[in-house]
Amino acid sequence: MTKILYGNIIAKKIRNQINKKVLCMKKKGQRPPHLATILVGNNSVSMTYVNNKIKDCENVGFKSSFLHLPNTITEKKLIKIIKDLNKDTLLDGLIIQLPLPKNINKENIIIAIDPDKDVDGFHPLNIGKMTMGIKTFIPATPLGILTLLNYYKINTQGKHIVIIGRSRIVGMPISILMAMKRSPGNSTVTLTHSYTQEIAYHTRKADIIITALGVPKFLKSNMIKKSALLIDVGISRVKDSTNTKGYKLLGDVDFDNVYNKVSSITPVPGGIGPITRSMLLKNTLIAVQKRKK
């Protein structure tokens, strides 16, 4: 029977754990963890993400600050704001919502963040540490995948994992992590992407598939082997007039089509998405511990 790997259950447990820790901190007279989010411009999807992050903070008792900056801000001014926030000893985590306007160099902005406050795990120093297996912030989505694998006690050692998509925030880091000498990890990893000649040729051989492509219902039954385990990171909004919101969320996997062939599968929504959201909170708590050291 196919096992559905729910992420929302795990996310709820993590939020509860974090909430307990925050209550404990407050009891001891300590201030709660504090996350600041910077948003440049008025991208509506970005706004939704930022609002969710603020809501998530409130739900677990974190303090959250929100800096909404105009589209016209210069790179220099933005870096100045970041450097000031870096110095703020009452701030633990700092994230810049991406994408940024085109006149701003994303790399320069990410590098300006204090690596010890970089709870997104996007700073090159943190990516380098992650790659070297040194304890550090791991970006939320890969960390969410590791957490899900851990929770469901999925053995990845020696398994062949095929990853679809090589983005800096999902495909690339999870490919590095899963190939490393760690648990979960120790897998044989194939990283496929837009230049791969035939993605199905690779996915058909995989014990585990992690897809982060953003193409709804891309992965069909004829592209996987029997009893494969599927982790669906893709989330696409597709118009749906029967839904009150006017849209529905679809993953990269054609869920109904593959359901009877797979051993386990993460749903969309309710799979990797909610765990990913809770990982930002977890990283902010790690930042607090880093500051205490």
- The catalytic residues are 53, 97, 120
Q: Is 134 in the site for a second copy (CB under 8 A)?
A: yes
Q: How far apart are CA 113 and CA 245, in angstroms?
A: 36
Closest contact distance (angstroms) between CB of 208 and a second copy is: 13
Q: Which one of residues 29, 90, 195, 239 is an interface residue with a second copy (CB under 8 A)?
A: 195
**Is the CB of 21 or the CB of 204 nearer to a second copy?**
204
Q: Which one of residues 23, 24, 124, 222 is an interface residue with a second copy (CB under 8 A)?
A: 124
Closest contact distance (angstroms) between CB of 229 and a second copy is: 16
Q: Is 293 in the site for a second copy (CB under 8 A)?
A: no
Closest contact distance (angstroms) between CB of 271 and a second copy is: 25
User: Applying CB under 8 A, which part among 177-185, 217-225, 248-256, 279-287 lies near a second copy?
Assistant: 177-185
**Is the CB of 56 or the CB of 116 nearer to a second copy?**
116
Q: Which one of residues 24, 107, 227, 289 is an interface residue with a second copy (CB under 8 A)?
A: 107
Closest contact distance (angstroms) between CB of 122 and a second copy is: 8
Q: Which one of residues 196, 221, 236, 257 is an interface residue with a second copy (CB under 8 A)?
A: 196
Pairing of the two strands 236-239 and 247-250? antiparallel
Q: Is 229 in the site for a second copy (CB under 8 A)?
A: no
**Is the CB of 19 or the CB of 196 nearer to a second copy?**
196
Output the 3-class SS for the chain. Answer: CCEECCCHHHHHHHHHHHHHHHHHHHHCCCCCCEEEEEEECCCHHHHHHHHHHHHHHHHHCCEEEEEEECCCCCHHHHHHHHHHHHHCCCCCEEEECCCCCCCCCHHHHHHHCCCCCCCCCCCHHHHHHHHHCCCCCCCHHHHHHHHHHHHCCCCCCCCEEEEECCCCCCHHHHHHHHHCCCCCCCCEEEEECCCCCCHHHHHCCCCEEEECCCCCCCECHHHCCCCCEEEECCCEEEECCCCCCCEEEECCECHHHHCCCCCEECCCCCCHHHHHHHHHHHHHHHHHHHHHC
Q: How far apart are CA 125 and CA 107, in angstroms?
A: 12
Q: Is 203 in the site for a second copy (CB under 8 A)?
A: no
Q: Is 86 in the site for a second copy (CB under 8 A)?
A: no
User: Applying CB under 8 A, which part among 10-18, 49-57, 62-70, 131-139 lies near a second copy?
Assistant: 131-139
Binding site for a second copy (CB under 8 A): 107, 123-129, 131-132, 134, 157-158, 160, 166, 168, 172, 175-176, 179-181, 186-193, 195-197, 202
